Structure 1
Amino acid sequence: MAFIDYYKVLGVDKKATEAEIKKAYRKMARKHHPDLNPNDKEAERKFKELNEANEVLSSPENRKKYDVHGENWQHADQYKQSKREQQQYNGRGQQADYGGGFSGGADYSDFFESMFGGRSARGGGRTAQFKGQDFNAELHLDLKDVYTTHKRTLTINGKNIRLTIPAGVENGQVIKITGHGAAGSGGGPKGDLYITFTIDNHTAFKRDKENLYATVALDLYSAILGGDITVDTFDGQVKLKVAPGTQNGTKVKLKGKGFPVYKKENQFGDFYITYEIKIPTSLSEKEKELFTELSKLKTL
């Protein structure tokens, strides 16, 4: 069998990252999946090649062997062992001439056959099994929706899927629902469902993982003299004591008043407040007079 360049099969560069390989495989696998190309032998052949390439390149260990040994990558360990034995035998460091490659006359390598259920039907063995196509869905939620754990029903390809959305899910996070993809072929397992969350924030709070941030306006008199104020948190209002002489930009941490920690029940991040002191812009004559008196006292 001719050597198969797995990088060309997936259409990626040899320096491609694991994420790039995974993305390329999903895109190509959807295109050539047997369920979408019934009775198309070429699509079936291509799909098998894609699966074989993905199984090799998605494994860092196998990919390293493949990059070094090419078509003989499966025999890398045997090659090294044979080399060590030969060196021990003759003491001259000669490399053993290890014949390798794929089994003669086969459409695909033994590696692929072992991964997907054995020999083809024409070889008298079992029919190859293939995992079903993965589904991808995007779920839009409001920040308030993910403050508490709740259930939601999604309709994917005409089927209703009831799922529990844990509190603390982040924007852009992907969750895998095993076995909710397309049916496999040849008795293979179902694909999986990947849900990407898009979280819209229409609140006055800025979120960074489990921590929340907000700016609170503080009047000049409270900043100078101190006192009690009421501030909004994500789940209600709390009273705060402002220290006399509070400066503009002062930060205060409210421990445990942030956002829920993902999949950690009853654990919350912190809430960070930044004070923004508001300078009065419309003073009465009396106020001006008093501020003038204060300014004179300051200079004494």
Structure 2
Amino acid sequence: MADKRDYYEILELGKNASEDEIKKAYRKLARQYHPDVNKAADAETKFKEVKEAYDVLSDSGKRATYDQYGHVDPNQGFGGGGAGDFSGGFGDIFDMFFGGGGGRRDPNAPQRGNDLQYTMTIEFKEAIFGKETEITIPRTESCDTCHGSGAKPGTKPETCSVCKGSGQQEVVQNTPFGRMVNRRACTNCSGSGRIIKDKCGTCHGAGKVKRQRKINVRIPAGVDEGAQIRLSGEGEAGQRGGPAGDLYIVIRVKSHEFFEREGDDIYCEVPLTFAQAALGDEIEIPTLTEKVKLKIPAGTQTGTYFRLKGKGVPRLRGYGQGDQHVKVTVVTPTNLTEDQKELLRQFAGVAGESTSEHHESIFEKMKRAFRGD
């Protein structure tokens, strides 16, 4: 007994620790040293130490006795780790901490099928206006021959004689800490709780078959890159009468050579000649559905944005549409004739700019501005 570690030290607590602190410390250390998680050589020993310390300190009566006498219990009520049963073993405690809730799953209970994901690439305008299409997906479905039982028609699965349908076996081990009862998947039925003697010739006992299934899909107007469409019940088949999973369609949208999209708004860039920008004009602008007239005021600068209200993307969750934003860029003329050059020289002269060969031309200045220099 003299070599046994202090229970408070094992749980890394002070002697005035509250019940809540004891429980939190136990849960933390039990996770840390659980043999199913920690593969260190001493993990099992430390886990048992933590369990023993918690059993004592979580019981107010045992804790009071331990605080008074330490490991030398005059009533021999605890601390010996002798002939007591560690019923349930690591498996039940692991379930309690990691989602099992302390109970065991019924291997014959209905089980929901897995969800599936399908990536669909669509054109830019198909995302804007929506579409209906048909896709083909591979998925597992319930076998039509045996209706999912896995057994040959006219027969049915039998309850496993080893685990009696529980899907688990109990293995008893005598250890220095007492008799431990561990539960594991039944080796006779692989944890299913059932034995199929006469297997279905179509699915070979699986109860499910792989098929290529065609499914109609409606893409709503206004979907964007990365959007997901959920089709309930179009995933993998369930087991033992459980519902099918869902199918999630992930949308990928191709880029467009002229339009760009930001949310519900559309952006495009339109070139203007020097004359149009300087004198003003009325030009045609392509939108998602038609061509519209856009008035360019005299003196418009390159990089100016104009808004076409309601010419954007239909709002996926709401009413109306976004806007279209038109950016105008003044294009520097090239391959000028001598007459055109002379007119520009005259314009530069009137504007007070030099046209000397040793000075930069207005076109060079504009080019540099376009480059962002």
Q: TM-score, normalising length from structure 1?
A: 0.59
Q: Is the 8 A contact 2:222 2:315 kept in 1?
A: yes
Aligned residues with identical type, % of pairs: 32
The Cα RMSD (Å) is 3.3
Q: State the distance in 2 between where 1:170 and 1:112 align.
A: 37
Q: Which residue of 2 aligns with 1:134?
A: 115
Deviations 1:24-75 (CA, angstroms, capped at 9, x unpaired): xxxxxxxxxxxxxxxxxxxxxxxxxxxxxxxxxxxxxxxxx999945999xx
Q: Which residue of 1 aligns with 2:267?
A: 213
Q: How does 1:85-96 map to 2 (within 5 A)?
A: none
Q: Which residue of 1 aligns with 2:141?
A: none
Deviation of 1:104 (Å):
4.8
Q: Is the 8 A contact 2:267 2:325 kept in 1?
A: yes
Is 1:160 equivalent to 2:214 in the alignment?
yes
Consecutive unaligned residues in structure 2, runs of 5 or more: 1-22, 32-56, 63-85, 139-211, 354-373
Q: How does 1:41-80 map to 2 (within 5 A)?
A: 69-70=27-28
Q: Is the 8 A contact 2:130 2:223 kept in 1?
A: no
Q: Is the 8 A contact 1:223 1:244 kept in 2?
A: yes
Deviates more, 1:180-189 or 1:216-225: 180-189
Is 1:192 equivalent to 2:246 in the alignment?
yes
Deviations 1:68-96 (CA, angstroms, capped at 9, x unpaired): 945999xxxxxxxxxxxxxxxxxxxxx96
Flag the structure with larger Rg.
2
Instruction: Rate the CA distance shift 1:183–1:214 in 2: closer, same or farther, 3 A.
Output: same
Q: Secondary structure at the match of 2:318?
A: coil
- Could you tell me which of 284, 296, 300 is aligned with 2:337? 284
AA aligned to 1:275 is V
- Could you tell me which of 315, 340, 351 is aligned with 1:298? 351
Q: Secondary structure at the match of 1:195?
A: strand
Q: Is the 8 A contact 1:168 1:259 kept in 2?
A: yes
Q: State the distance in 2 between where 1:195 and 1:170 align.
A: 12
Q: How does 1:229-240 map to 2 (within 5 A)?
A: 229-240=283-294
Q: Which residue of 1 aligns with 2:297?
A: 243
Deviation of 1:253 (Å):
1.6
AA aligned to 1:154 is I
Q: Greater RCO between the two (CA within 8 Å, min separation 6)?
A: 2
Q: Which residue of 2 aligns with 1:204?
A: 258
Deviation of 1:174 (Å):
2.1
Q: Secondary structure at the match of 2:347?
A: helix
Deviation of 1:222 (Å):
0.8
Alignment size in residue pairs: 205
Q: Which residue of 2 aligns with 1:41?
A: none
Deviation of 1:191 (Å):
0.9
Q: State the distance in 2 between where 1:67 and 1:280 align.
A: 78
Q: State the distance in 2 between where 1:258 and 1:115 align.
A: 56
Q: Secondary structure at the match of 1:147?
A: helix
Q: Secondary structure at the match of 1:288?
A: helix
Instruction: Rate the CA distance shift 1:280–1:120 in 2: closer, same or farther, 3 A.
Output: closer
Deviation of 1:264 (Å):
3.2
Consecutive unaligned residues in structure 1, runs of 5 or more: 1-64, 74-94, 122-126
Q: Which residue of 1 aligns with 2:231?
A: 177
Deviations 1:130-149 (CA, angstroms, capped at 9, x unpaired): 21111111111111212213
Q: Which residue of 1 aligns with 2:106?
A: 120
Q: Is the 8 A contact 1:66 1:72 kept in 2?
A: no
Q: Is the 8 A contact 1:166 1:263 kept in 2?
A: no
Q: Secondary structure at the match of 1:183?
A: coil
Q: Is the 8 A contact 1:167 1:263 kept in 2?
A: no
Q: Which residue of 2 aligns with 1:35?
A: none
- Could you tell me which of 124, 128, 134 is aligned with 1:143? 124
Q: State the distance in 2 between where 1:239 and 1:67 align.
A: 73
Q: State the distance in 2 between where 1:174 and 1:66 align.
A: 40
Q: State the distance in 2 between where 1:239 and 1:150 align.
A: 29
Q: TM-score, normalising length from structure 2?
A: 0.48
Q: Is the 8 A contact 1:230 1:240 kept in 2?
A: yes
